[in-house]
Amino acid sequence: MARLVMKFGGTSVANIDRIRNVARHVKREVAAGYKVAVVVSAMSGKTNELVGWCKDASALYDTREYDAVVASGEQVTSGLLAIALQEVGIDARSWQGWQIPISTDDAHGTARILDIDGEKLGAAVDGGEVAVIAGFQGVHLPTGRLTTLGRGGSDTSAVAVAAALKAERCDIYTDVDGVYTTDPRVVPKARRLDRIAFEEMLEMASLGAKVLQVRSVELAMVHNVRTFVRSSLVDPDAPEMGEVEKAGTLICDEEEIVASQMESQVVTGIAFSKDEAQVSIRRVADKPGIAAAVFGPLAESHINVDMIVQNVSADGYTDITFTVPTADFERAKAVIEKARDSIAFQSLEGASDVTKVSVIGIGMRSHAGVAAQAFEALAGKGINIRAITTSEIKISFLIDAAYTELAVRTLHSLYGLDS
């Protein structure tokens, strides 16, 4: 029978009762004949507590010891779930990242996975044992030091394990029952999607949707790991829980999505991010080297730049506008101000009360006029667009934050996502 990887987030394992509920989900899949590996996060709130302890101990803590501390949350959960599974008659054991091993680089706190040896793990699950793996962690083999993958890293762990095991699917269990056309808290008519292509999910995750970590979607796309987002809070024995797509959203290759569905649905979803700040540099000389003078120092300061707009040159001068994460707003302005002599700008302006709203859909590749419809609809609601960027399957607008919900609702209705 095929191998299956199941991942449970912090809210799914928040207490012993929920861990017992997770055990029931796992037992259902074992009974269905799957060879199962489970990846778990720390209990809800535990990682924040552990991070807080590190900061209390020292403002300039050793990141290697930080990893040793914060990874303990997943270690506790993996052990508790293994005990709960044994209690319901399932052969199970816990695994830590170094035991597999999950090999990473040495960027403690934000490590990236280099390789996973799936041989021992595969032999264990094929032998009928459920492997309960502590997510979020790995090991830097040259030093033997434990590493962590950054917040949300358990999603990445799960997809990587699924790729190493050549699993049929990677099921990501959360406190929501799938991926929606937009945030249901903003648009009550938002619909759960049965399927979504990797590229679309990657755009949605990077543009504000909080369902999956971006790195996990990238990994799933590269290794073609079919990923299923579903809720752990539903009764494990409910009839629909045994049927893919009736219980959540399948993230898969574009070719798996029925052609007729792609043709009829131009736009798949509307994402938005309030973690945006706008920086505008006025009257910059329009000549070679200026862009490098602006964005070089920002890159050296590890400030991520997103949307970039340059106005048409007038009288030999131009304006450059770009966005950065809100947390980097003041630092970005300071970096540009420091480079004033090399950039030679007249004035520096900025705003942190902005939101990026994005329209996403693989159907946009073969349909014209999608952007024009959005421009007209937003203008009709009196919403001014500060900046625009596009890709083959995405259009993003930067607008005043006060109009966020109105813009999202307007675009959601415009593209027929309400029904």
Q: Which residues pair with 192 in a beta bridge?
A: 180
- Residues whose CB falls within 8 Å of the CB of residue 279, separated by 6 or more in sequence, listed in order: 321, 322, 323, 324, 329, 332, 333, 336, 348, 349, 350
Q: Which residues of 202-217 are buried (b: 16+ CB within 10 A; e: fewer)?
A: bbbbbbbbebbbbbbb
* Residue 13 assigned ligand-binding role: no
* Residue 180 assigned ligand-binding role: yes
Closest CA to 210 of 162, 237, 175: 175
Closest CA to 414 of 386, 382, 372, 385: 372
* Residue 8 assigned ligand-binding role: yes
* Residue 227 assigned ligand-binding role: no
* Residue 11 assigned ligand-binding role: no
Q: Which residues of 147-179 are buried (b: 16+ CB within 10 A; e: fewer)?
A: bbbeebbbbbbbbbbbbbbebbbbbbbbebbbb
Closest CA to 74 of 47, 101, 104, 49: 47
> What is the widest separation between alpha-carbon atoms in the chain?
78
* Residue 74 assigned ligand-binding role: yes
* Residue 52 assigned ligand-binding role: no
* Residue 355 assigned ligand-binding role: no
* Residue 287 assigned ligand-binding role: no
Q: CA-CA distances (angstroms) from residue 397 to 287, 320, 412?
A: 27, 16, 14
Q: Which residues pair with 398 in a beta bridge?
A: 356, 387
* Residue 185 assigned ligand-binding role: yes
* Residue 47 assigned ligand-binding role: yes
Place of tokens 């590190």: 54
- Which residue numbers belong to the known binding site for ATP? 7-10, 174-175, 180, 185, 210-211
Binding residues for substrate, as ranges, are 47, 74
Which residues contribute to the annotated binding site?
7-10, 47, 74, 174-175, 180, 185, 210-211
